[in-house]
Structure 1
Amino acid sequence: MPQKLQLFSTHIPFIIPKKSELTVHEKNNWQHKDYIEDTIPGVSTQKAYSLLKGKQATTVVIAILDTEVDIFHPELKDQLWINRDEIADNGIDDDANGYIDDVHGWNFLGNALDENTLYTSYEYTRILKRYATQFENKTINEIPDQDHAAFRTYQKAKKVYNTELQKVTENTGQYKAMYTLFKNAQNIISKYINDDKITIERLDSLKIAQPDLEEQIVLISNAIRYDVKEQDMLDQLDFLSASTATYLNLEFDDRKITGDNPEDIKDISYGNPNISKNVKSLYHGTLVAGVLSAKIDNKGVEGFSNAFKLMPLAISSNGDEHDKDIALAIRYAVDNGAKIINMSSGKNFSMHSNWVNDAIAYANNHEVLIVTSAGNDNKNIDLKENYYYPNDHQLPDTNNFIKVGAISQQVDSIHFKFANSSYGTINVDLFAPGEDIYTTSSSSQKYEVVSGTSFATPIVSGVAGLLLSYFPDLTVAQVKEILLSSGTSYAIEVSIASDTTETSKRIPFAELSKSGRVLNAYNAVRMAQQIVER
């Protein structure tokens, strides 16, 4: 009979007083700190390394299924996976894996002409296009029994689509009016104060001298006070414009560039190896990559291990991912040596979830862990109406899928759960730091602070990678069990949105996920040591 494992976990029954002001480095890398030793609710990565002194780490390949990644970033360029069996830029599929010149990964949103997709439709828009002829203006009584599930999905998609379209239309009008007022006020005030010298104090003085300009002065003062810049308004107008032109446009063909049949999973002759062409506009993957594998011994962003190698697989642009691209990217990652797949994205509809489920099962059969984000909708994704894809609802025999929620640095009932993080005791496995995470960026500054479950996810992938790099004989099921069982439990109630009203309610943090815990690398390493030493 196997020896029972000792449960290594940390229980925090009280709130530990904060230490003195954090240094810049501590603030930038708080996710690696330990709550008891540092009074910062990180995942205890630095403490975990005290258990690994003198041990040799083996290389772990981690696939990033995301947008394009800035492979030239100084903190990422040495961490890239290299396909040693492929010769760069010779136009030949040297390793016969079906992908030409895939030296560092693959872009599933491109073509052989080196063109890559910048915008895709929302999945519910695709559903309306797919079923319009079949279901439009019909009731369920007019639909064959075998099509009832698809019809209900179509009805749900149509409701969401109409709501979003109305919202975008209204917001477009409001933002255009707001921007017009702002520009008019700016032009009038610039006659009295140079644009580069406008301050609230100068505006207050101007209001006394020119009381008839009070409306314009208040508008510009509020913009300064709440840090609303002209570019912010233009960016929002661009987003709204893109929504009507692409995301919500029933006539938009988001596979025009790839040229494949999105309804045929066997049609794989598309894409290109250019995974870093549009990183200024498709920047998300670079943010995720830095959380995972920026070098651990530098003074900027701290990753988890210098033994990690990143395999960038571009499946995301502005809009929703195609299930076909997700499924093929998972299989590519598995077939080319990845042990962990990080997917910091998701969507509320999935037209071909069976393709993705088959790929998840394929990864499970090849001992590959998949880590995904819970989403930033502040919803209970256990509820059917809030399902977030991909998920493992229909995969009871797999043990390789983890969905992650996000916490903040503030251990109190109002702030501990990152405000936008979704949750669920069935479909969210555990939580990890996800607010104010300092990471690599494709901006000119090369770094920025970001928040969301997208950035809690690579923290879980990072600890999983740490385990596999020092304990390579662990099975994927063991890694998942360790991560979920060894976390920190916090005896605190947190605020969540009510399921029935717009008000909030408080529930124990332990009821937000399957494990009820926050990831803890130190405890995970201790448990892994116990397993391998048995």
Structure 2
Amino acid sequence: MKSFPILAALLVLPLAGRAQSQPVEQWHHLDPAADHAMGISTARAYELLRQLPAPKGAPLIVAVIDGGIDTAHADLRRVLWHNPREVAGNGLDDDHNGYTDDVYGWNFTGGRDGRNLFVEQKEETRIYARLKDRYEGKTAATVPAANRAEFQLYEQAKAEYLARRAEAEAQLQADTRQLTEDRANLTRLKQGLKVTVLDSALLRRPTTADTALLRSASMYYGGLRQMRLPNTDSLLNRFVRYNEKLRKRVDYAYNLAYNPRPLVGDHPDDLTERHYGNADVMASRSDHGTVHGSHCAGIIAADRRNAVGSQGIADQVRILSVRCAPDGDERDKDVANAIRYAVDHGAKVISMSFGKYFSPGKAAVDEAMRYAGAKGVLLVHAAGNDHLDVDKTTQYPSPRFLNGQDIPNLLTVGASGPTNNEQLIAPFSNYGQQSVDVFAPGLNIMSTVPGSQYAPLSGTSMAAPVVAGVAAVLKSYFPQLTPAELKHIIMQSARPLHTQVMKPGTKQLVDFATLSRTGGVVNLYEALKLAQAQQAAVAKKPARKTARKS
């Protein structure tokens, strides 16, 4: 029996779009008590907000550091940030910030000639390629003491690269064989049923007595239903696209000879370089990065006023797009610059749905995070989708500086599901009692994708913008809150849940409360109540008397 890659498809590809004029279901907005779904209680939260004074001044700026955003999406265009000092398309740096025509944000993975980088190497590939000639064939004993830390990094990156390259090749070979088999099966099925299109209705009740054809029809009918596709041509196209993604891993992500950086035209090893890239924050509507970034942006702030499509969490924000995460691993230099750009252009919350397991330029990222903290900016980061304990296997950007201190303005988020049972934690989510702060909805989250369409995607990539949206609402209505206070409120209001859940990557049942620092799932309504209570408590405190000067 064929196994359809449902989860993989949800993680990397949009499903069939919904008509723009129809609202879409979004379980992450639901209320645990009233709706029996482990959402964030958005409707209850807005009932509470109606009792509060409306935010004053300009909408809060939330940056989405990702792979790009479809700036023409019907549910996003009203809520996008616009640089008030930049004239679109005139080829000039009107505001003299070093970034020409940055109307919606900036793209640190583009060239000045307008080309864009879509696929990168994994970080372990880059490290191994860079250090291979220097350390190949050497041992720790033959390496000078001053170079042993770098040699150890080389050894770790080499081992990871060789293992992942072999795994990627094996997966591609197996999937290619399966794809060939699918093509042959579907051709035989069409011929046997004497049709050119195999749709759901036909496959449900095929007009044949041939048992082999009946088994095949039943199998592909199940695939169409699970993937919500109209016919097997669409299904086969999905399989082809997934196979192409696997091939890209071999040809690019784990290819020592691949080097796309000349397209950008910067000096990759100069971590102090700031001004490179281009203003194309969309890059390509069909690129996975733009699908991913648009989806994250919609979770945070899809237009809540137009009564169509999806609804974002925050109603008083503008989304600033910073592109730095192509397919593959983002570069530390680009991440650091993306954070600085977002901070310098007014962002108070930054959503970051990317990650990797090597970070040779972490010092630069740390400094950018310190800079954000000094400017009053909260960073929200996805924990990762490899069902790993990140207390034991560090995922970057990590929640601690190089000196071991916790990063006070960084929240790390795991992904949860809609039911308070064994499936409360998403099966792919990373976890960690010391390194993951909180969980948030991240399984089959419906949101915006390019072309004014909507699709459900899964990942901690979806959970992070849920928390960024919660933080944005809090900061909009309680602007005095510092990043540390926002983090504290979000964590403290996520009440511990002692549900027995399936530990990701295993068949072991564990207490959900042991998988993060809070042991809970974020809730907008509870966070707002706590913020309101804390504000009231501060207001009741008597003013401090100061001694009079004689």
TM value normalised by structure 2: 0.86
Equivalent runs, 1:65-214 vs 2, <5 Å = 65-192=65-192, 193-197=194-198, 199-200=202-203, 205-207=208-210, 214=212
- CA contact under 8 A between 1:488 and 1:518: conserved in structure 2? yes
1:44, distance to aligned residue in structure 2 (A): 1.8
Shift of 1:358: 1.0
- The CA distance in 2 between the partners of 1:106 and 1:365, in whole Å, is 22
With 26-35 and 523-532 compared, the bigger mean Cα shift is at 26-35
Query: What SS does structure 2 have at the residue aligned with 1:447?
Result: strand
Q: Which amino acid aligns with 1:236?
A: Y
Contact 2:190 2:197 in 1 (8 A): no
State the SS of the aligned residue for 1:532. helix
What residue in structure 1 maps to residue 367 of structure 2?
A: 358
Q: Report what 2:413 is aligned to.
A: 404
Aligned CA distance change for structure 1 residues 218 and 49 (closer, same or farther; 3 Å)? closer
Q: In the alignment, which residue of structure 2 is the partner of 1:11? A: none
1:497 is displaced (CA, Å) by 4.4
CA shift for structure 1 position 85: 1.4
The range that moved more, 141-150 or 404-413, is: 141-150
Following the alignment from structure 1 to structure 2, what is the Cα–Cα distance between the partners of residues 459 and 110?
28
Distance 1:195 1:221, change over 3 A: farther
1:408-443 Cα offsets, whole Å, 9 max, x none, are: 111112x1111111110111000111112110111x
Paired residue for 2:457?
450
Match of 1:419 among 421, 427, 439: 427
**CA deviation vs aligned residue, 1:176-219 (integer Å, no higher than 9, x gap):** 322223323333443332131474466682525xxxxx4x7755
- Of the three residues 47, 53, 56, the one matched with 1:50 is 47
Query: Aligned with 1:266: secondary structure?
Result: coil
Task: Name the residue aligned to 2:221.
Answer: 224
Give the CA deviation at 1:233: 2.6
Amino acid at match of 2:368: A
- The residue identity in structure 2 corresponding to 1:156 is Q
Of 259, 263, 273, 1:267 maps to 273
Aligned-residue offset at 1:489: 2.4
Q: Which amino acid counterpart does residue 40 of structure 1 have in structure 2?
A: A
CA distance in 2, matches of 1:91, 1:201: 57
Q: Which amino acid aligns with 1:516?
A: G
Q: CA deviation at 1:491?
A: 2.6
**What's the counterpart of residue 527 of structure 2?**
524
The whole-number CA distance in structure 1 between the counterparts of 2:272 and 2:454 is 39
Equivalent-residue separation in structure 1 for 2:158 and 2:497 (angstroms): 41
- For the 8 Å contact 2:23–2:310, the answer to whether it is kept is no
Aligned match of 2:11:
none
- One-letter amino acid of the structure 1 residue matched with residue 388 of structure 2: K
1:308 corresponds to which residue?
A: 317
Partner residue, 1:508: 511
CA deviations 1:424-469 (Å, max 9, x no partner) are 0111000111112110111x56011111111111111111111110
Shift of the 90–194 alpha-carbon distance from structure 1 to 2, 3 Å rule, reads same
Contact 2:28–2:40 (8 Å) recurs in 1? yes
Amino acid at match of 2:185: A
CA distance in 2, matches of 1:66, 1:321: 9
The percent of aligned pairs where both chains have the same amino acid is 33
2: distance between equivalents of 1:206 and 1:248? 48
Q: Deviations over 1:286-305 (max 9, x none)?
A: 01011000122424312123
**Match for residue 332 of structure 2?**
323
Give the match for residue 21 of structure 1: none
CA contact (8 A) 1:279 1:286 kept: no
> Is the CA contact (8 Å cut-off) linking 1:189 and 1:217 kept in structure 2?
no
Look up the match of 1:491. Answer: 498
Aligned residue among 229, 240, 244 for 1:234: 240
* Structure 1 position 391 matched with structure 2 position 389: no
Amino acid at match of 2:55: A
Letter in 2 for 1:366: K
CA deviation vs aligned residue, 1:385-404 (integer Å, no higher than 9, x gap): x2110013226264100000
* 1:204–1:44 distance in 2 versus 1, CA, 3 Å: same
User: Which of 294, 299, 303 in structure 2 is aligned with 1:295?
Assistant: 303
2:467 to 457, 460, 464: 460
**Number of aligned residues:** 496
Q: Does 1:480 align with 2:487?
A: yes
2:385 to 376, 384, 407: 376
8 Å CA contact 2:315–2:473 kept in 1: the answer is no
Distance (whole Å) between structure 1 residues aligned to residue 175 and residue 526 of structure 2: 50
- Between the aligned partners of 2:379 and 2:351, the Cα distance in structure 1 is 6
Alignment of 1:245-264 (within 5 A): 245-264=251-270
Q: 3-state DSSP class of the match of 1:489?
A: coil
Contact 1:185 1:220 in 2 (8 A): no
Q: 1:396 to 1:523 in 2, by over 3 A?
A: same
In 1, are the aligned partners of 2:498 and 2:511 still within 8 Å (CA)? yes
Q: Do the aligned partners of 2:415 and 2:463 also contact (CA within 8 Å) in 1?
A: yes
Runs of 5+ unmatched residues, structure 2: 1-21, 225-231, 539-550
Question: 3-state SS of the aligned residue for 1:166?
Answer: helix
Other structure's SS at 1:256 match: helix
Is residue 260–residue 268 contact of structure 1 (8 Å, CA) maintained in 2?
A: no
Whole-Å separation in 2 of the counterparts to 1:292 and 1:519: 14
- 197 and 34 in structure 1: CA distance in 2 versus 1, 3 angstrom threshold: closer
Distance 1:32 1:488, change over 3 A: farther
Structure 1: unaligned runs, 5 residues or longer: 1-24, 209-213
Q: What is the alpha-carbon root mean square deviation over aligned residues?
A: 2.1
Say which of 32, 35, 41 aligns to 1:35.
Answer: 32
SS in 1 for 2:379: strand
CA distance in 2, matches of 1:194, 1:105: 50
Aligned to 1:20: none
Structure 1 residue 313: Cα displacement: 0.3
* Structure 1 partner of 2:60: 60
Label 1:481 to 1:202 Cα distance change in 2 as closer, same or farther (>3 A).
Answer: closer
